[in-house]
């Protein structure tokens, strides 16, 4: 039986047996969503999802992490939570979902959140779970468990970026490296570098070089700040990398009416912005979203220069 089939069976089984998960997935039917159009024409969605307050407000400083048990380690998981084993990973249902099918995929060892040694695993998982989009949040880019390496995944077609990439409205093909197409984006209000192709070794070479160059720019960090989305379609891998410059925007820390409690991660980079508070959902505008992206993401100009450097350097 394929890993994908086992995973679909796991989701169905968990929703029948695990009350917390069943209630929270049923609650997605009540989630409110609105669409906003950013300058330049990019559409984003804003989702009011109160169950995501745990993630949006997660304390990820070293002391807070030391003082809590790791909820991704097998010994600390809820008794009801079951999984599907894949190599060194456990595929689990996420009990606090954004997607109709939302997975958390932790490494079986308690090891720090750094993608570079495990990027090949992301490609393997994307191929096996080809109904899903895989995503990675860096330790300062939305990961609520930066002390335990993990991916997440959600059903394909949920993120506006997937369709935007197909329509090629915001992308520019800048190179073809050993059969891998390299794209930059414009009028998207977030720097994105995208790879598309079937050669795993060539994609990994491009990603590794990108990671190395970013690390040289942020050597005071455990790893360069980034989010990654990956999926497998029609025999090809698609990888979107979002270089980051800031963990959380100013509005996250503001007081009173100025505060918008939004902590951007991969799902937000993909075009679905999660607001766990009703007041933030009501008041957030396209101008707010644009400002948040401008604050936390590398600019489109800088990411385009970076993409050219990557292609020239491999």
- Per-residue pLDDT tens digits for 113-125: 999 999 999 999 9
What's the pLDDT at 58?
47
At 236, list the tokens.
């090809």
pLDDT digits (tens, 9 = 90+) for 273-292: 999 999 999 999 999 999 99
Domain ranges for the chain, please list them: 3-313
CATH architecture of the domain with range 3-313: 2-Layer Sandwich (3.30)
Calculate mean pLDDT across residues 83-107: 97
Mean pLDDT of the chain: 94
Predicted confidence at residue 65, as pLDDT, reads: 67
Convert the pLDDT of each residue in 223-266 to its tens digit.
999 999 999 999 999 999 999 999 999 999 999 999 999 999 99
pLDDT of residue 52: 72
Q: Is the pLDDT of residue 31 over 50?
A: yes
Give the mean pLDDT of 69-73: 92
| pLDDT reported for residue 220 | 84
For 41, other C-beta atoms within 10 Å of its C-beta total 11
pLDDT score of 60 more than 60 = no
Residue 86 predicted with pLDDT over 90 = yes
Q: What is the pTM of this model?
A: 0.95
């Amino acid at each position: 039986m394929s890993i994908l089939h086992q995973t679909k069976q796991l989701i169905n089984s968990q929703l029948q047996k695990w009350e917390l998960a069943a209630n929270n997935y049923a609650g997605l039917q009540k989630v409110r969503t609105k669409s906003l159009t950013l300058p330049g024409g990019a559409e984003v969605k804003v989702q009011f999802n109160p169950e995501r307050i745990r993630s949006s407000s997660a304390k990820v400083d070293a002391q807070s992490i030391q003082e809590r048990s790791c909820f991704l380690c097998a010994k600390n998981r809820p008794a009801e939570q079951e999984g599907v084993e894949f190599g060194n990973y456990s595929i689990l249902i996420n009990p606090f979902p954004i997607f109709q099918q939302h997975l958390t995929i932790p490494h079986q060892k308690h090891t720090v959140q750094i993608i570079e040694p495990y990027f090949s695993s992301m490609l393997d998982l994307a191929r096996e779970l080809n109904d899903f989009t895989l995503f990675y949040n860096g330790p300062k880019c939305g990961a609520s468990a930066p002390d335990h390496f993990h991916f997440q995944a959600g059903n394909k077609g949920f993120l506006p970026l997937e369709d935007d990439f197909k329509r090629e409205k915001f992308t520019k093909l800048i190179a073809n490296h050993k059969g891998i197409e390299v794209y930059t984006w414009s009028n998207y209000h977030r720097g994105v570098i995208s790879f598309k192709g079937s050669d795993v070794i060539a994609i990994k070479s491009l990603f590794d070089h990108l990671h190395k160059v970013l690390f040289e720019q942020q050597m005071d960090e455990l790893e360069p700040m980034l989010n990654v989305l990956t999926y497998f379609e029609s025999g090809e891998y698609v990888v979107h990398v979002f270089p980051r410059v800031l963990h959380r925007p100013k509005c996250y820390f503001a007081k009173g009416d100025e505060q918008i409690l939004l902590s951007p991660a991969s799902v937000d980079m993909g075009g679905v912005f999660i607001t766990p508070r009703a007041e933030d959902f009501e008041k957030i505008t396209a101008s707010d979203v644009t400002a948040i992206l401008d604050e936390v993401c590398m600019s489109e100009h800088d990411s385009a220069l970076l993409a050219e450097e990557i292609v020239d350097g491999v």
